[in-house]
Amino acid sequence: MGTVHAKAQQNEGFGQVGGGLLGLDEPLEFDEEPISKPSIKLNGVRARVDRVHVDGLNRTKDDIIRSAVDDLFHATDFEDVILRAHKVRRALDATGCFRDIGVYIDVSSGPGATPEGLEVTFQVKELSRIVGGINTTVSENEGNLVIGVKMPNVAGRGERLQAEYSVGNRSTSNFSVTAAKPFLRSALTPVLSASVYQQNHEYPWSGYRLLDRGLLLDLAFNTSPATKHNLQWEGLVRETSVLSKNTSFRVRESSGPQMKSVLRHILTIDHRDEPVFPSRGTWLQFSSAVAGLGGGVAHVRTELQAQANATLPQASNVVLQGTCAAGVLHDVFGSELADRFFLGGPASLRGFAQRGVGPRADGLALGGTMYWATGLHVYAPLPFVAGRGGLAELFRSHVFMNAGCLAHPEEGESIVSALSEACVAGGWGWRCGWGAWRASSSTTACRCAPPRGTSLLRACS
């Protein structure tokens, strides 16, 4: 491949320009990275891309590849070539068609080669036609065996077909079939997906069980690298049933099948460096939903969640995190328990039992139509094993202080007074997370709640 002389020189001068250097997933920051042999200025080497090869294409269609690599031809110097090659590599990666992408840059030869010409070769490995997997998950109150089948890049333009079936230890079965189609060539790179699903949920804290069967259409697009929008329409039939004969009548009243049609917009802005245990950056999610275009449930539901992270200047591995969340549900007709907000539990208001805050009947959480929650968290590596890596990296010690209130103001009741009965909890514990998974255990927590939130006023150890 190409002239030996040129390749050897480049390899010496610029390091490995292959899978190694460009195999990174993070954006390359060239100004920070000390590139070896500073005597050669990459941007001083004039270059032009003559040809781009993509090796290993099998069923992926040419047009999406062509539009992805097109950018390379506009490069004017060698640094530009490398940067653009990396961008192209990420674009190819984002199509979700390839398992492995290697980049090789060589001087061009043969007929039509220009003096400063380069040839860029992408060596790709396509994902196999069908990928299957079996795994187990443990969620809030159930263990599941999940069997999944995925068919990536079905028609050659990044289309994806995915089916998942899961059986839980409480003999519930869930399934979902999703078809997604990315529009790789248009601006904002929208992804259209449709899924059909059946989901069982049990909420022992509220005494009911849900069986959702529905259709979800989703259009996701990015207006900036950190800003993601989801426009969704969801139509579902929801069957609510009570868990036992002695379930509170307030919960029993909401049983029965209901149909719901929801239009939803979710805006996510993520400037964090990591989704799990971030060390800096902010995150914000704003979702608004309107239900009632058909179906028997009509309401407007808005929710805002935000998070800010900062590393303490004195200790670089101690992260200070501030969170806040708020939500309002305006019921027009037919909104039942399942539509309401619930608060409490390690994921929302730590130090309280799952759904432990807000209106209750016979010990069961009834949910509310508005809530707010704030929290201040300090995360630090585990003591004694810090810096050793390995399993300990998945754990953090956690000191927290959070407060929140969930209310269901009756007509005529003042919203301000309903929302001022805050529940506060503080304590310390540990938190564990990897991938998208998190678990927490709090060793000590002190909570206090206004008299209305019965049975919460106690300190526990």
Partner 1 sequence: MPEMSLKDSIMTSMNAQEPWPDNVKLFQPYEVEQILLPDNASCLAVQAFLKMCNLPFEVEMRWNAEFMSPSGRVPFIKCGAFVVSELEPIVQFAANKGVTLCGRLSTEEKAEMRAYMSLITNVLVNAELYISWVDTETFNAVTRVRNASVYPWPLGWLQTRSKRNNVIKRLKALHWYNKTLDQVLADVEQCCNSLSQRLGDRDYFFGTPTELDALVFGHVFTIITTRLPCRKLADIVRRHETLVALAKRIDEQYFKRP
* Contact range with partner 1 by CB under 8 A, out of 35-43, 248-256, 310-318, 363-371: 248-256
The DSSP letter of residue 409 is P
Cβ at position 180, least distance to partner 1 in Å: 26
Q: Is 252 in the site for partner 1 (CB under 8 A)?
A: yes
Cβ at position 245, least distance to partner 1 in Å: 5
Name residues contacting partner 1, limited to 254-273 (CB under 8 A): 255-259
Residue selected from 6, 237, 310, 380 as contacting partner 1 according to rule CB under 8 A: 237
Dist CA 327 CA 340 (whole Å): 10
State which residue, 54 or 297, has the beta carbon closest to partner 1. Answer: 297
Cβ at position 259, least distance to partner 1 in Å: 4
* Contact range with partner 1 by CB under 8 A, out of 32-40, 240-248, 416-424, 433-441: 240-248
In a 3-state reduction of DSSP, which class is residue 119? Answer: strand
Cβ at position 256, least distance to partner 1 in Å: 3
Residue selected from 253, 273, 274, 413 as contacting partner 1 according to rule CB under 8 A: 253
HSE-up of 199 (CA within 13 Å, CB side)?
Answer: 16
State which residue, 7 or 213, has the beta carbon closest to partner 1. Answer: 213
**Contact status, residue 276 vs residue 435, Cβ threshold 8 Å:** yes
Residue 118 dihedral angles phi and psi, to the nearest 5° = -125, 155
**Contact status, residue 52 vs residue 62, Cβ threshold 8 Å:** no
Helix axes 78-94, 62-69, angle to 10 degrees: 150
Buried b (16+ CB within 10 A) or exposed e, 331-364: beebbbbbbbbbbbbbebbbbbebbbbbbbeeeb
Task: Give the number of residues in contact with partner 1, rule: CB under 8 A.
Answer: 16
Site string for partner 1, 277-296 (x = CB under 8 A): -----------------xxx
State which residue, 154 or 215, has the beta carbon closest to partner 1. Answer: 215
Residue selected from 245, 313, 436, 461 as contacting partner 1 according to rule CB under 8 A: 245
Residue type, 238: R
User: Measuring CA to CA, which residue among 68, 143, 129 is closest to residue 97?
Assistant: 129
Where do contacts with partner 1 occur on this chain (CB under 8 A)? 237, 240-241, 245-246, 249, 252-253, 255-259, 294-296
